[in-house]
């Protein structure tokens, strides 16, 4: 969903183009990786997390190139296939020694080793954005002991939207579950020392402790990868894509279900946390509830924000909502990946400040009976 353009939500347009122009692409499992380069944070935002920080945050970039699939130039008619495969520049945030007076993120800093590696969260950004937009939240996860891996999607990132003259590029969303799968596998291979393209993660990740998370369009891509039983534009079933992954948890932040295809509960039943706001104008509450209700399992939670909008609970601008989101997502990740139960139940934790948020557990989820409709717009909110 567009986070910056006030007159465009992308919802109806994406439903019609998401599978229309890309069906002819061929999916072949051949890929190559190129070098890793350290970077600094672009946002400069610091986390306002309630949990006590355990680590500092190191950050680097690794670039993974999937030669088996292509990105499209949506500003041409007909759409032009861009050369070079799907080039997935990926931000890696990882635990380092915490020292007072240092910047929020340290580019290329030495990671603190951990026997067996750290749990990993693979994060998918929203439309017309980058992972740095969510630095406050992603850094909070790292400070609590997680490696966060965030690919920059070829067509939906902010720079590419500008490069394509502001054309709606959301049709590429259906390719992003494949991107998430490819990047996850590439990082896990690099952590095991089976590739030389991303040295920073060597020995850093526990392959048995993986979570998928995303916001807005990124949340929709994560939901498709985790629950969709249809096919991607290459004709590869999403269930086949996720069969190559072993993930224990799914976090949907202001997301929606791809209603053009069927969702179903997975046999593995990873823990599910949906975060959605009653005041979200870009992705109204009903979309999050629809996805949540469609996953029939007991190990699921729904954090209902009362007054927050689409992005501020996740970039730190809405300090109150961000504090609740940070606290509950960290507790959820620790519980799901590491088996660490919160000192109070997750449902109680998310409901401690009822004027800001309340948490639902299992079924039923939030009722839509008395929810006041919002005016749908994906402008700055």
Give yes or no for a contact between 174 and 233, defined as CB atoms under 8 angstroms apart: yes
Q: What is the torsional sign of CA 172, 176, 177, 182?
A: positive
Query: How many angstroms from the chain centroid is the CA of residue 346?
Result: 21
* d(C-alpha 67, C-alpha 32), whole Å: 7
Which residues make Cβ contacts (< 8 Å) with residue 212, sequence separation at least 6?
Answer: 121, 122, 124, 180, 222, 225, 226, 247, 249, 250, 251
Q: Determine which of 23-27, 154-158, 167-171 has the lowest per-residue pLDDT on average.
A: 23-27
Is 377 or 309 the better-scoring residue by pLDDT?
Answer: 309
- Whether the pLDDT of residue 177 is over 70: the answer is yes
**Structure confidence at residue 334 (pLDDT):** 97
Tens of pLDDT, residue by residue over 115-133, are 999 999 999 999 888 999 9
Burial (Cβ within 10 Å: 0-12, 13-18, ≥19) of residue 78: exposed
- Whether the pLDDT of residue 258 is over 50: the answer is yes
Q: Determine which of 22-36, 173-187, 208-222, 367-381 has the lowest per-residue pLDDT on average.
A: 22-36
Confidence of residue 259 (pLDDT cuts 50, 70, 90): confident
Region class of 206: left (phi > 0), else alpha (psi between -120 and 50), else beta? beta
Which residues make Cβ contacts (< 8 Å) with residue 364, sequence separation at least 6?
Answer: 293
* pTM of structure: 0.86
Confidence of residue 32 (pLDDT cuts 50, 70, 90): very low
Give yes or no for a cis peptide into 78 (omega within 30° of 0).
Answer: yes
**Structure confidence at residue 129 (pLDDT):** 85
Is 95 or 258 the better-scoring residue by pLDDT?
Answer: 95
Tens of pLDDT, residue by residue over 33-52, are 333 444 433 333 333 345 78
Is 342 or 235 the better-scoring residue by pLDDT?
Answer: 235
- Whether the pLDDT of residue 206 is over 60: the answer is yes
Tens of pLDDT, residue by residue over 1-27, are 544 433 333 443 343 333 333 333 333
Tell me the β-bridge partners of 147: 120
Is 342 or 111 the better-scoring residue by pLDDT?
Answer: 111
Mean of the per-residue pLDDT values of the chain: 84
Return the H-helix or E-strand segment holding 210.
strand 205-215
Helix-helix angle 319-333:135-143, to 10 degrees: 40
Burial (Cβ within 10 Å: 0-12, 13-18, ≥19) of residue 375: exposed
- Whether the pLDDT of residue 380 is over 60: the answer is no
**Structure confidence at residue 3 (pLDDT):** 47
Is 26 or 358 the better-scoring residue by pLDDT?
Answer: 358
Q: Classify 34 as helix, strand or coil.
A: strand
Confidence of residue 80 (pLDDT cuts 50, 70, 90): confident
| pLDDT cut 90: percent of the chain above it | 62
- Whether the pLDDT of residue 30 is over 50: the answer is no
**Structure confidence at residue 244 (pLDDT):** 83
Domain locations in the chain? Answer: 11-361
Options 3.40.50.2300, 3.40.50.620, 3.40.190.10, 3.40.50.1820; which CATH number does 11-361 get?
A: 3.40.50.1820
Average pLDDT (166-170) is: 80
**Structure confidence at residue 71 (pLDDT):** 81
Which residues make Cβ contacts (< 8 Å) with residue 65, sequence separation at least 6?
Answer: 31, 32, 33, 34, 84, 85, 86, 87, 88
């Amino acid at each position: 969903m567009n986070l910056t353009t006030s007159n465009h939500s992308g919802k109806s347009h994406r439903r019609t183009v998401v599978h229309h122009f890309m069906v002819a692409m061929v999916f072949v499992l051949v890929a190559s990786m190129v070098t890793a380069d350290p970077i600094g944070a672009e946002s400069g935002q610091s986390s306002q997390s309630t949990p006590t920080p355990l680590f500092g945050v190191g950050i680097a970039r690794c670039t993974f190139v999937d030669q088996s699939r292509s990105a499209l130039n949506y500003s041409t008619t007909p759409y032009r296939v861009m050369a070079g495969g799907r080039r997935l520049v990926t931000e890696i945030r990882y635990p380092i020694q915490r020292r007072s007076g240092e910047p929020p993120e340290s580019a290329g800093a030495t990671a603190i080793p951990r026997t067996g590696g750290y749990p990993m969260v693979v994060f998918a950004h929203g439309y017309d954005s980058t992972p740095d937009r969510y630095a406050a939240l992603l850094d909070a996860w790292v400070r609590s002991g997680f490696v966060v891996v965030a690919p920059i999607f070829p067509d939906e990132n902010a720079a590419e939207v500008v490069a394509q003259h502001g054309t709606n590029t959301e049709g590429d969303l259906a390719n992003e579950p494949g991107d998430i799968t490819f990047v996850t596998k590439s990082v896990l291979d690099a952590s095991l020392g089976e590739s030389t393209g991303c040295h920073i993660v060597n020995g850093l990740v526990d392959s048995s402790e993986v979570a998928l998370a995303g916001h807005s369009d990124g949340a929709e891509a994560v939901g498709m990868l985790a629950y969709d039983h249809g096919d991607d534009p290459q004709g590869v079933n999403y269930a086949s894509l996720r069969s190559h992954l072993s993930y224990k948890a799914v976090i949907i932040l202001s997301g929606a279900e791809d209603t053009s295809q069927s969702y179903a509960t997975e046999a593995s039943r990873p823990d599910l946390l949906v975060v959605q706001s009653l005041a979200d104008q870009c992705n109204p509450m009903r979309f999050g509830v629809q996805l949540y209700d469609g996953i029939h399992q007991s190990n699921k939670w729904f954090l209902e924000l009362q007054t927050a909008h689409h992005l501020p609970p996740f970039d730190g601008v809405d300090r109150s909502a961000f504090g609740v989101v940070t606290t509950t997502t960290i507790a959820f990740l620790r519980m799901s990946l590491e088996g660490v139960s919160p000192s109070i139940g997750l449902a109680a934790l998310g409901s401690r400040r009822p004027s800001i948020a309340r948490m639902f557990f299992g079924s039923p989820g939030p009722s839509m009976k008395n929810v006041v409709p919002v005016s749908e717009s994906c402008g700055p909110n």
